[in-house]
Amino acid sequence: MAAFASTASALASTIFYSPSLNPITGQASLFSPSRIRSSPCVFRGIQSRSSRRFSQNVTADRFNSFSCTCLSAVSTSTIDYEFTDGGKEVELRLRLKTGEILSPKDISVDADGTSLAVKEKRNGLLITLLETNQLFEKIMPSETIWYIDEDQLVVNMKKVDGELKWPDIVESWESLTAGMMQLLKGASIYIVGDSTEINQKVSRELAVGLGYSPLDSKELLESFSKQTIDSWILAEGPDSVAEAESSVLESLSSHVRTVVSTLGGKHGAAGRADQWRHLYSGFTVWVSQTEATDEESAKEEARRNKQEREIGYSNADVVVKLQGWDPTHAKSVAQASLSALKQLIISDKGLPGNKSLYIRLGCRGDWPNIKPPGWDPSSDTGAHPQFT
């Protein structure tokens, strides 16, 4: 199974997932920074700033520290490192082998906008200390410096977005679930797509990871009607179910910090373009199966899907393309969803605030061009200025 994810607006981020390779093996950059090898500086006896140490054997609160082995996208021969977010810069400290005196020529630090490779020459061999193509966010490669401080190799990197706090050096499930809290600002997430089962499993993983409340429209509808969705469709038809789910979504639209799993198929409200009024209250992720075999093909398919406005799912904020489905990999799909949402919100940090405004004005269906207070969609006769 593979998963591809794209943002709805500009398809700015693309993620390729395959369990036979790495959980995350690629992501498109918003720009293409030049690749550099940073110049070494050597200092001795420098007092380091307050930092956090990451180790495979450390169990800690997810908001404070993380394991550096959480993703196989990170290749490292040592699992002991310290990480510090200093605001506009981040600092990585890797412990070198005790008892050996190293010179700058024994160290190689190769960085670009989203990648970092740190290697050490030992006994004539080049040993990889840490290698990742999935830094938590973008850095300015030309501003990267490194130095040796006693028995530690210190790598200092300047962030492109100085306001974004990095929970860890790499983008992982743990760092995404912690880091997304500052971006979502309490906004809810809706999982939409043709498969109710996939929507349910992905939404549950997201709810657990984010600490959000999990809500399932299928369970709510069946509990209310005292019958299964299948029997409801047989008795009253798919339109009746879609209308009922739309009412459920209306009642949930004012909720915050929830992950909502929606019905899939023709009987689901999300599949109908005229039933999105209340789905716009949160961030929507369209989980869609595809026969695409590579990142570019999936990205092009997602672009075509977004242009098919008669499909309700085309209104989604981000699209996650799955090549096949395996329930055991639901967390990886959830991770791809968070990564795509992260790129979307970073590209427009006003989105969570606009979602909140949209809710306060009554979820009138005027997303993303929110009209002034008092606007009545039933009497709309022309263009109106956007209200922010």
Per-residue pLDDT of 349-373, as tens digits, reads: 999 999 999 999 999 999 999 999 9
Sign of CA dihedral 349, 161, 342, 300: positive
Q: How confident is the model at residue 2 (pLDDT cuts 50, 70, 90)?
A: low
Q: 213-216 and 258-261: which strand pairing? A: parallel
Strand residue runs (E) in 225-331: 258-261, 283-289, 318-323
Collapsing DSSP states into helix, strand and coil, what is residue 143?
Answer: helix
Tokens 């070494």 correspond to: 40
Token reading at 95: 């412990």
Reported as type and span, the H/E element at residue 226 is none
Angle between the N-to-C axes of helices 330-347 and 351-360, in degrees from 0 to 180, rounded to the nearest 10 = 90
Domain ranges across the chain: 81-159, 173-361
Lowest mean pLDDT among 60-64, 284-288, 364-368: 60-64
Average pLDDT over residues 265-286: 96
Q: Side by side, which strands form the sheet with 116-122?
A: 36-37, 107-111, 116-122, 125-132, 74-75
Tokens 């520290």 correspond to: 65
Q: Phi/psi zone of residue 87: left (φ > 0), alpha (ψ -120 to 50 degrees), beta?
A: left
Average pLDDT over residues 185-199: 97
Cβ–Cβ under 8 Å, residues 25 and 16? yes
Q: How confident is the model at residue 264 (pLDDT cuts 50, 70, 90)?
A: very high
Lowest mean pLDDT among 49-53, 54-58, 77-81, 188-192: 54-58
Token reading at 52: 């956090």
Average pLDDT over residues 28-44: 36
246 φ/ψ angles, rounded to the nearest 5 degrees: -60, -40
Q: How many CA atoms lie within 13 A of 11 on its CB side?
A: 17
pLDDT tens digits along 204-239: 999 999 999 999 999 999 999 999 999 999 999 999
Residue 65: which of 74, 57, 76 has the closest Cα? 57
Q: Is the pLDDT of residue 49 over 90?
A: no
Q: How confident is the model at residue 324 (pLDDT cuts 50, 70, 90)?
A: confident
d(CA 12, CA 385): 27
Cβ–Cβ under 8 Å, residues 70 and 81? no
Average pLDDT over residues 259-271: 96
Q: What is the dihedral of CA 197, 201, 202, 204, to 10 degrees?
A: 140
Q: How confident is the model at residue 156 (pLDDT cuts 50, 70, 90)?
A: very high
Q: Is the pLDDT of residue 375 over 60?
A: yes
Q: Is the pLDDT of residue 24 over 70?
A: no
Residue 21: which of 37, 1, 49, 35 has the closest Cα? 1
Average pLDDT over residues 296-308: 83
pLDDT of residue 101: 66
Chain-centroid distance, C-alpha 29: 14
Domain 173-361, what fold? Rossmann fold (3.40.50)
Q: How confident is the model at residue 5 (pLDDT cuts 50, 70, 90)?
A: low
Lowest mean pLDDT among 25-39, 81-95, 105-119, 356-370: 25-39
Tally of CB atoms within 10 A around 385: 8
- Please give the share of the chain, as a percent, with pLDDT higher than 90: 62
Higher local confidence (pLDDT), 60 or 167: 167
| Mean pLDDT computed over every residue of the chain | 81
362's CB contacts (< 8 A; 6+ apart) are: none
Domain 81-159, what fold? Immunoglobulin-like (2.60.40)
